[in-house]
Chain A
Amino acid sequence: MNKKNLIAFIMIFLVSILFISFISAISVSNCCERLKNDGAWCQNALAGECTTGVNPFTQANYKKVPTSCESTSYCKLGTCVNSLQGTCMPNTPQVVCNKEGGVWKGAKIEDLPECQLGCCLMGNQVAFVTQTECKKLTSEAGLIINYRGDIKTELECIASATSDEIGACVFEKDYQKTCLMISQTECNKIKAVTNTAEQKTVEFHKGYLCSASQLETNCGPRGGTSCIDEQVYFMDTCGNAANIYDSSKLNDNNYWTSIQEPSCDDENGNKNSQTCGACDYFSGSICKSYDRTVNVKPTYGNSLCVSLDCTYNGQKYLHGETWCADNSKTGLKGKNLPGSRYFRMMCYNGEVSVEPCSEFKNEICIENEVNSFSAASCVVNRWQDCMNQSLKEDCEDVYARDCKWIKGYSLLKDTKGNDLGKDENNVSGSCVPKYSPGFDFWLGEGYGPELCNMGSSVCAVEYEVGFIFGSRKKLEQKDWDEKISKCVANCYCIPGYKDGAAKNKYENNKPDSDPVSYDAWINRMNSVCTSLGDCGNKNNYLGFTGDVKDVFTSEFIKKP
């Protein structure tokens, strides 16, 4: 077998491996009811990995059948319905569901009416649950069920949470006219429990505040501020909430009379404002008690809208912003070096947290910015079938894969060694991962060396040595400059070759796709090789070099 055929064979073998891996023909043959050593339930594994003995839950032997779990009755996946709690769980094996006392159903969760979620309204609280769970929650809270099956999303459900309209409930207590800011329903409850004589004095004033002077209660204005529903509220002297804190309205009788919106809102959450308590979580502020070591003192009271934004590495991020980082040394970031990993950073509630994306660059972090607000996500690196793509157009299909096209050299070759990878102009090229993946060389899984070998190439340079005075052996002993002068094809593979230095025979017929110099060729090949994964000569993520190996070896043979 000559070298070209050998290369073609290796290529076909590797392409086959990649193809096979993607149709997920996983070579396991048994469905284990449970894996050994109290392992996972219902896994496809080799027979030796299945547990044996008696299942304490069924008093029968653990099952093991040479087929996939989906084909068995005991490990078939379905929906586990918890009829007491009213919850449903998809993708549950029958044996696991039964073991826990659930009711297993073969249907998908979306096809089971009892598993459909809706909005459970409980006073001013809501829960996005099934009807059964709603019944349970409301009965525990002593409420009447109010279930909205027409609300189909959790966001819609949360948005539908409304509290009853509140007002001033004025009543007599200990011979004093006092007041509570509550709903009419709650006020009526007070009326019901007071004695007949006192009942006459219980009055509800919708939209009024307890501090309203015309109500003539013992509750006056200016009783401080407090955090209620994430916002800063003025409090009256009885401890009832009045309107949202607005320092300019501190002595405004009208603001202490009826429920009204503040005029101070900057519509950006009033972060660290000394004068306004209209906080907004989604704008990045929330009501907190004043802490003199951290905040500015509010003009009145001891509560303010604190900022939930973050500072990280000297840079400011808004609450809710997410952004990408990788663990490579500064300057090497984004190079997908061996050992590097992507991370998603998150700023929430004034705290920066880190979410590592998958190891081996199986996940990459992508980031987008809209109106200076950054949003990032760890997404799957779809590199696996890049090397299978022979067309540039398929290679760069961003909806299908994360690959890039390197012009000039085709990884894919036919059995005769001809290039298969072509762009729209029929110029050779290779499709390689856009984000080169990592391999676990220490365990040897994942065919890392085989994948890297795809980047190895043989460049056959042709020389004309002449019949009479020249010979192959003599030329082999010459330096590269002399060799270049005898070169007639693929001269760019000779160290030191530059455009124009070779014999006219080559220069005049040189294909446009051939590199202009030896360095250009080396760079091109290195680019293909290093893109395939943790291959070729690369620094690691800390910037250290590994064992540098020769990238060039030569052998003189007579043209077959």
Chain B
Amino acid sequence: MSEKKRLKKRGQVTIFIIIAILIIALGVLIYMFYPKLKSTIETETKNPSVFIQECMEETIQDTVNIISLQGGSVNPTFYYSYEKNNIEYLCYTNQYYQPCVVQQPMLIQHIQSEIKNEIKEETISCFDSMKMSYESKGYEVDMKSGNTTVELLPEKVVTTFNYELVLTKGDTEKYQNFNIVLDNNLYELASIANSIINWETQYGKAEVTTYMNYYHDLKVERKKQIDETAIYILTNRDNDNKFQFASRSYAFPPGISI
């Protein structure tokens, strides 16, 4: 009998040991995978600002890149084709010996408007998918859409979505004005482009070395084409941000022209 009791006690100890090992193993597993679990949980309850940032940032960046290579327009209408890019004329004359006529006097506004128009569809799509995402997680979602503004500012491009979002799931959270800030020198480059156009209208060309002497991180190139179109390429040497545009001013014909 006593032998039986001793065996029973031994079995209990073994079970306790096994349970202890299982608890420790579970603890180790939780410890090892906790960050992933945490991030999964966080993804599920992602902050709306982060959601919009992740959804829209690439579209804005791509649009800025395209616009920068095409003289400030997503779909240039009057352009010069140079190295696979259609580059918008910002100043042009079809005549010889004449100064160019400005085609885009408000470049910065135009770029802002182009970016805004290009991201319109994606904006609607991103906000809709955010709404659906929260609804699928049991939130009551009240979203009021508003206008979008794009601002070119020194060293950045700021996109503001004037949307209002109210999330209710027990508590109520309210979010307004979603901002996406892109580090980019488009404002500076477009301002230099304006200055160059100013020179083009007066003298038919701008001295590129002057700009490089003033702004040490700036590279300015002027590539004269066979029809006397000048392609200007402005590059920030630090981050490779680029802006290029075309101009035709005080053109000279081959030989003489009447």
Contact = CB atoms under 8 A, between A and B. Distances in A.
Interface of A: 17-18, 20-21, 24-28, 35, 38-45, 69, 77, 80, 82, 84-85, 87, 89-93, 96-97, 100-102, 109, 137, 140-141, 154-155, 158, 230, 281-282, 286, 320, 322, 346, 348-349, 351, 353, 355-360, 362-363, 377-378, 380, 384, 437-440, 443, 445-448, 451, 533
A29 B199 CA distance: 28
Contacts of B154: 137, 140-141
Contacts of B77: 38
Given A26-B258, A440-B254, A90 B102 contact: yes
Interface in B173-209: 194, 197-198, 201-202, 205, 207-209
Interface stretch (B17-25, B50-58, B130-138, B216-224): B216-224
A89 B254 contact: no
Given A82-B106, A92-B105, A137-B154, A439 B255 contact: yes
A403 to B, nearest CB: 15
B82 interface: no
A26 B255 CA distance: 15
B216 A346 contact: no
Interface in B86-108: 89, 91-106, 108
Given A92-B101, A96-B104, A360-B252, 16 more contacts: A27-B258, A40-B101, A82-B109, A84-B109, A92-B102, A93-B102, A137-B154, A348-B219, A349-B219, A355-B223, A358-B252, A359-B226, A377-B207, A438-B254, A440-B255, A443-B254
Nearest to B197: A89
A268 B201 CA distance: 38
Given A26-B258, A320-B209, A45 B94 contact: yes
> How big is the B interface, by class?
35 or more
Nearest to A24: B97
B214 interface: yes
Contact of B94 (A43, A100, A443): A43
B255 A80 contact: no
B106 A100 contact: yes
B26 to A, nearest CB: 39
A391 to B, nearest CB: 21
Interface of B: 77-78, 89, 91-106, 108-110, 153-154, 194, 197-198, 201-202, 205, 207-209, 212-214, 216, 219, 221-226, 228, 237, 252-258
Contact of B102 (A35, A85, A89, A155): A89
Contact of A41 (B101, B153, B194): B101
A290 to B, nearest CB: 18
Contact of B105 (A43, A102, A358, A533): A102
A356 B224 contact: yes
Counting chain B CB atoms within 10 Å of each CB, which of A40, A41, A445 scores highest? A40
A38 B106 contact: no
B185 to A, nearest CB: 14
A174 to B, nearest CB: 28
A39 B92 CA distance: 10
A423 B71 CA distance: 52
Contact of A100 (B97, B104, B201, B225): B104
Contacts of B222: 355
Contact of B253 (A35, A69, A109, A446): A446
Contact of B103 (A27, A69, A96, A363): A96
Contacts of B109: 82, 84-85, 100-101
